[in-house]
Amino acid sequence: MVMVMVTAQIEPERVVSRMGAFLWMFSQRSGKAVVVVLLALYASSGNAGEWKAKSNVVFSEIYTDNIKLQESGEDSDFISVIRPGFDVEGKGRRANMSMRAAFEFNDLGGGADALNPRIRGDGSVELLEDFFFLEGDIYSNQSQIDPFGAAGNSSLNKTENTTTTYDYSVSPFVVHRFAQFADLKLRYTFDDQINKSDELSDSTQNSVVLTLNSGPEFGRINWGLTSDYKKTKFDGGGYLNQNADSERYSSSIKVGYRFDRKWQLSGTLGQEWNDYQTYNNEDTDDQFWDVGVLWTPNKRASVDLGYGQHFYSTTPRLKLTYQVRHSVVSVSYSRTLTDTRSERRNADFFANQDVFGDLVDPITGEPLFLTDNVTFRDQGIFTNELFDSSWTLKGRRTSLTLFFKESKQIREDVDGDQTFTTTGIRLSRDLSSKLSATSRITWDERESTAGDQADTSRFYLSLDRQLTPKTSVGLAYSFSDRDSELPSDNYKENRVSVNLSIDF
């Protein structure tokens, strides 16, 4: 029944042409570099290799009572979706690669994207034994354009407030070992980012990193010399017509000492030279330092604590993990200098293992939710004060996760900051050997010094039934409630979907 409804509204010719258009567009910017990497991988795979591949397709029919996410005059609509996906992994003696992808085709129309591709792939090849290597990756994902504008938790609405970001990088590097004394690595990386929305400028980044790290000869003492150069260029001025081009260079020395298997100390001292726009003409050239301690009392616990100083701020940091048999606690805090293009690229999805290290299927029948790496509508460098925490309890049939994440982003190019906070609960349970339920509740709070503020709460519940070893059907319901300081920007939405998933 689901397949009939979907194929009646999405013509196969349109699906093929849209996928072809996507691949053509991507190849115009990234094709040459990706082809070089793939040919190198293919040439090396003949020596020895192990390949694993699986694929699936999801057919969905969705009903929403507020397709445009409006405060009044809500319009209901049906959305038909076909989402093929695949997971490929290859390992050889001198080359390896992996790629996970899902292509979400829909019949929304009205200015909405008819194709939402989600891709994460990477590969590496050893061109000259123990000396010259080549790595590359490819990425695409969906995110929100204006963090304070109305948007759902996926791209399947007509707000025109989401975009697809395409990104690829090519990175050749050489390594050399000076006997047991030190290891040398010189790496060059070219990274190209393309945003489908005209409001977000495309950009390229060239970087060179040179490292010399101590070898086994030094025993408990470890040291490292690092020199890092990075130049970023944007094609346009973005939403606020800001010059976001930047050039950053740093050199540092790091020294550490391992007392035993539980305790390690480290210290870093360096100099950085930066060239980018700041709103108060701040001097961005300065020395920096950092001291840290790593405590690993056992295999289940780890605490990495540090404190430092850069020209833009002090830089405290913390990373804590603790695992017992059925529970994992994770807490991290940092204050770092980053930019909007990095945040749009660093989203984590298609994970192939859970927090316990158990393998999971990265390609599922769930919707392609927007990334939670929310950032400015514009482009530029900012200080990101990030706190991220979660607690997961896993039983034989039930898994519960509580999470809290807050990102305070302080811009360098204009006088302003924004804070994004997400709190949530995830609960999943196997009701029987073939029936499972998944539920999520999230509270999303956003505010800025400019007076923008928006709070959104969401509830999601799904039931999945295994029909055959390779076929399952699902029924899902979600409710969203948004309260915004912007005029006519509140909304409520109910959404119901029916899914049929087939594995191959």
Phi-psi group of 334: left, alpha or beta (phi > 0 → left; psi -120 to 50 → alpha; rest → beta)? beta
Fold of the CATH domain 2-503 = Maltoporin; Chain A (2.40.170)
Kindly indicate the confidence band of residue 20, based on its pLDDT and cuts at 50, 70 and 90: very low
Q: Choose among 431, 428, 252, 276: nearest CA to 341.
A: 276
Task: Report the pLDDT value the prediction gives residue 198, as an integer from 0 to 100.
Answer: 84
- pTM of the predicted model as reported, rounded to 2 decimal places: 0.87
Tokens of residue 304, six digits: 């990495």
d(CA 457, CA 474): 23
Task: Report the pLDDT value the prediction gives residue 238, as an integer from 0 to 100.
Answer: 63
Residue 376 Cα distances to 84, 335, 417, 448, angstroms: 31, 17, 9, 10
Are 397 and 430 a contacting pair, CB within 8 Å? yes
Taking only the tens place, the pLDDT of each residue in 107-163 is 988 778 899 999 999 999 999 999 999 999 999 999 999 999 888 888 899 988 999
Query: How crowded is residue 25: how many other Cβ atoms within 10 Å of its Cβ?
Result: 14
Task: Report the pLDDT value the prediction gives residue 327, as an integer from 0 to 100.
Answer: 94
Across the range 431-453, mean pLDDT stands at: 93
Q: Nearest-5° angle of CA 258, CA 264, CA 268?
A: 105
Taking only the tens place, the pLDDT of each residue in 342-362 is 988 887 776 666 666 665 666
Terminal-residue alpha carbon distance, the chain: 20
| Domain positions in the chain | 2-503
Tokens of residue 184, six digits: 């040398």
d(CA 8, CA 400): 39
Query: Over the chain, what is the mean pLDDT?
Result: 87
Tokens of residue 16, six digits: 């093929």
Q: Worst-scoring range by mean pLDDT, 48-62, 203-217, 400-414? A: 48-62
Task: Report the pLDDT value the prediction gives residue 359, as an integer from 0 to 100.
Answer: 56
Largest CA distance in the chain: 73
Kindly indicate the confidence band of residue 31, based on its pLDDT and cuts at 50, 70 and 90: very low
d(CA 428, CA 478): 15
Cross-strand partners of 207 = 189, 230
pLDDT over 80 (residue 40): no
Comparing 236 with 72, the larger pLDDT belongs to: 72
Are 198 and 224 a contacting pair, CB within 8 Å? no
d(CA 13, CA 82): 13
